[in-house]
Amino acid sequence: MKSKSKLARPGFMTLERKSRWFGYVFLAPWLLGLLTFFVIPFFSSIGYSLNQTLIGKEGLEQTWVGFENFNYMLFEEPNFVRNITSEIQALLTNVPIILIFSLLISLLLNQDFRGRVFARSLFFIPVIVASGLVIKVIQGDVFTNVGMKSDESAIFQVGVVADILANMNIDQGIITFITTATSQIFDLSWRSGVQILLFLSALQRIPVTYYEVASVEGANAWESFWRITFPVLAPNCILVTVYTIIDTFTDTSNTVMTSIIDRFNEMKYGYASASAVMYFLVILVILGIIMLLFGRKVDYST
């Protein structure tokens, strides 16, 4: 009875309450960053998008224009909708390639072989040094882009592949899809470091006993993959897909981001903010569709 009264005292810090406060402490930096670098700038962008914003003698001068920036962007400016459509089409090609490539590489890196640590660090190096200029230097596009198409690097030339497929009388649409995917293999593999790390961490959480039991039951490697590995990796597939979509859409090299940055540099802050807000809503809708289609089918308890 005495111990119970002691536990029931107001102000007594139970283990559950301590854990909750520790959680708040660890979440505080993230919440502060979210508020400072996302929530406040997002609502500021909405305010800028509804005004004509210019730099005056006393700072930013705003004139209310309502939805004129959005109307111009969607119905008068020919490039915005076209650029978003182009990026979505590229996304349908890039995301599956990155997903499959990252999964295969993570399966290889999870094996026990000599030099495994070096191989893992090798695939994660691009995350540390990745930049548009670095990729261009590696591809040779900075110094050898004379007479070269923008979608072909100095390392991967797909003209020969296209000629071979054309001689086989394959449909031009299929040839275009294959050559486009092939020409982007280097760029996509260069941007797969985080995805490989996410898959690799999930693979290392699978108990070895699962595979031992499957082996005793007579399952081969292919059956073990589909019955053990893939169900455990399914939630990570959703995570990798969402991360890849956001990473692709926020890459400063894509046409929409380039257009938004150019408008900011031209001091057209109202139009640039409207473009950024609309672009954010498009990304949000795409992510919502992904979660509705696949999120409910995944068991996150694994």
Q: Minimal CA–CA distance to 141: which of 186, 182, 176?
A: 186
pLDDT greater at residue 161 or residue 62: 62
Query: 139-153 pLDDT, tens per residue?
Result: 554 444 444 444 444
Query: 198-234 pLDDT, tens per residue?
Result: 999 899 888 888 888 888 888 888 888 888 898 888 8
Residue 282, pLDDT score: 92
Predicted structure pTM score: 0.73
Is residue 21's pLDDT more than 90?
no
Residue 147, pLDDT score: 41
Q: 188 in a domain, yes or no?
A: yes
Q: 148 in a domain, yes or no?
A: yes
Token reading at 231: 């169900």
Residue 154, pLDDT score: 44
Is residue 7's pLDDT more than 60?
no
Among 150-159, 178-187, 251-260, the minimum mean pLDDT is found in 150-159
Q: Minimal CA–CA distance to 106: which of 189, 214, 212?
A: 189
pLDDT greater at residue 1 or residue 28: 28
Is residue 250's pLDDT more than 80?
yes
The CA R_g of the chain, rounded to the nearest whole Å, is: 25
Is residue 116's pLDDT more than 80?
no
Instruction: Tell me how far CA of residue 267 lies from CA of 46, 118, 185, in angstroms.
Output: 16, 47, 36
Q: Residue 299 and residue 282: Cα distance in Å, rounded?
A: 27
Residue 5, pLDDT score: 45
Q: 11 in a domain, yes or no?
A: no
The pLDDT confidence band at residue 160, using thresholds 50, 70 and 90, is low
Residue 292, pLDDT score: 87
Q: 208 in a domain, yes or no?
A: yes
Q: 147 in a domain, yes or no?
A: yes
Query: 177-202 pLDDT, tens per residue?
Result: 666 666 666 666 777 888 988 999 89
Q: 66 in a domain, yes or no?
A: no
Domain that residue 255 falls in: 77-297
List, in sequence order, every beta strand (DSSP E) within the chain. Answer: 51-56, 59-64
Token reading at 214: 């499957």
Q: How many Å from the N-terminal Cα to the C-terminal Cα in the chain?
A: 41
Among 6-20, 30-44, 229-243, the minimum mean pLDDT is found in 6-20
Bridge partners, 61 (sequence order): 54
Residue that has been written with the tokens 């705003």 in this structure = 62
157 CA to centre of own chain: 26
Q: Residue 250 and residue 231: Cα distance in Å, rounded?
A: 30
Q: For the chain, how many structural domains are there in total? A: 1
Is residue 273's pLDDT more than 50?
yes
* C-beta pairs of 256-265 under 8 Å, 24+ apart in sequence: 256/80, 256/83, 256/84, 256/87, 259/79, 259/80, 259/83
Residue 145, pLDDT score: 45
pLDDT greater at residue 157 or residue 265: 265
Q: 50 in a domain, yes or no?
A: no
Residue 36, pLDDT score: 92
Q: What is the CATH number of the domain that holds 166?
A: 1.10.3720.10
The pLDDT confidence band at residue 278, using thresholds 50, 70 and 90, is very high
Residue 279, pLDDT score: 92
Q: 267 in a domain, yes or no?
A: yes
Query: 24-51 pLDDT, tens per residue?
Result: 899 999 999 999 998 998 998 898 889 8
Is residue 131's pLDDT more than 80?
no
